[in-house]
Amino acid sequence: MSTLTEFSQALSTAVEKAGASTILVDARKRYPASGIAYTEDLVLTADHVVTREENIQVVLPDGKSLAATIAGRDPGSDLAVLRLAEKALTPARTSDAVKVGQLVLALGRPNTQGMQASWGIVTSISGPTRTFRGGMLDEYIRTETTPYPGFSGGPLVNTEGEVLGLNTSGLTRGSSLTIPVKVAWRVADALAKTGSVKRGYLGVRTQPVEIPEQARQALGRGQNQGLLVLWLEEDGPAAKGGLIVGDILLAVSGQAVGDPDDLFAALRSDTVGQAIAIEVLRGGRPETVNVMVGERK
C-alpha cells in the first residue's frame, strides 16, 4: 500500500470516528446546520443556526430523528446547547492539543445524505477578541478548511478524529473561525447547568492612556498603558464602589488592563456578584478600590 493511500485512509478513518458524534441540527428556516454530541443527551451547536425555539429536530448518524429543546444559549460566544429526551448520543472525543501548521478537518452533517468534510492546516491561534455579538473569546483558531453551507456548529478534528473545537461563521462577518474545545466546552457546561452565561459589568467608559514614567516606577512593573475613566453610570457598580472620573485603571484582580478588551476579559462570569480589587492611579498615586461586579444584561 502506498504512503498516499495510507494517508487517504487515515483521513477517512478520522472522519468516520468524528462522524459518530456529528449531528444534523434542524432549527432554522433555511438548510439545516451541524452539531456535536456534548453528552449522551446534549448537542452543542452554533447559536446563530437556532432561529426556532420550537419544533427543533436533530438527526443522528444512524438516521434517527429526535425532537430537541433549547437547554441554553449564549449569543456572545455563538454557542447553544440542545437537550434530547433520551440518551441516544455518542459523546465526542476531544483534545485541546492544537498547533499552527497542524493538519485538520472541518466536518459537517448539513443533510441526511451523510458526512461532508474539508481539510487544511491551522493557520493561526489567536485571542482574546471581542465578538460583534457582544461577547469575548479567550482564544480562537483559524484554518484553511472550507466552511461549506451548514458546517456551522460542526467540529474541527485532528487526524485521530478528536474534536479540537466548534466551527462557526456567526462571530465574524464574512469568515469562519473555530472556538477551541477548552473555550466551547466551558461555555457548554454553563449553558447546560444554568441556561446562560453571566458576564461582568462595571458601568464605565474608558480609553487607553499612557502611564507617566514616574507612576510606572512607583508601580514597579513594566506596564505602559492603563484605562482612563471618562464616564460612570449613575449608581452603577463602579460608581458605588468608589471609582471616579479621571482614575486610570491599572489592573483588575491582579490582571493588568491596558485596553478595553483587557477589562472585558477580566470581568469573567465568576466575578459577577463578587467584590474585586481594582488598582488605579488617582492623582498620580497608586490606590486600590474594591468594586462589586454587576451582571451585563
Active-site annotation, residues: 48, 78, 152
Q: Which residue has the cell 472550507?
A: 146
Quick one: how far is CA 124 from the chain centroid?
Answer: 16
CA distances 296 to 82, 126, 132, 237, Å, are 24, 25, 16, 11
Burial call 136-173: b when 16+ CB within 10 Å, e when fewer: bbebbbbbebebeebbbbbbbbbeebbbbbbbbbbbbe
Q: Where are the alpha helices (DSSP H) in 154-296?
A: 181-194, 213-219, 237-241, 260-266
Cα 277 to Cα 274: distance, rounded to the nearest angstrom:
10
CA atoms within 13 A on the CB side of 252: 26
Inter-residue contact 171 to 78 (CB < 8 Å): yes
Cα 57 to Cα 67: distance, rounded to the nearest angstrom:
5
Q: Rg of the chain over CA atoms, in angstroms?
A: 22
Sequence-distant (6+) residues with CB within 8 A of 169 are 147, 151, 152, 175, 176
